Amino acid sequence: MTHKFLLRSSKNQSPQIVAINAGILSTIPVFSLICFFLFNNPSFSNENIYWGIIYSFIVYSGIIYSYYHLFNMSETGRRIKIICTILINGALNKKSIIDIYGTTNPIEIRLERLLYTKILFLKNDYYMLNKKFLYWTSSFVENWRKILGFN
């Protein structure tokens, strides 16, 4: 619910920032509820309450972390594929990339983002890799997909 609300209320934010903010904001009601149950249970000692809050924080942080990365991978999957394709071919022009993926608008948007973030650069109408960090991350994801049998 928090993520849906934030997506609609902050239209100019990147989807990843919205997901992070949703995770952070959702801790308020979750921990309010956890504290309510812990403090209103007479069978819990102060030490049990303390460890219960720490345990809840660790578990909920793991849930938020997993949710963010699941959401983030769904948002960046096409970018990873574009980066790997450009690396394999050395350089590609926009028409070649669109021919490979069979669509124009989402590819153009992703290419603009990759240029804006300086991950790619444009030279004589060809896109080339500028930064290798995302390539290594992309390679890891591609290889992991192969290990899992998705490619």
pLDDT for the residue 95: 84
Q: State the average pLDDT over residues 128-149.
A: 74
Task: List the chain domain ranges.
Answer: 2-148
Burial 74-100 (b: 16+ CB within 10 A, else e): eebeebbbbbebbbeeebbeeeebbee
pLDDT at 150: 60
pTM: 0.48
At 85, is the pLDDT very low, low, confident or very high (cuts 50, 70, 90)? confident
pLDDT tens profile 50-76:
888 899 888 988 888 887 777 777 666
Read off the pLDDT of residues 13-42 as tens digits, 9 standing for 90 and up.
667 777 788 888 888 888 899 889 888 888
Q: What CA–CA distance (Å, rounded) separates 136 from 151?
A: 18
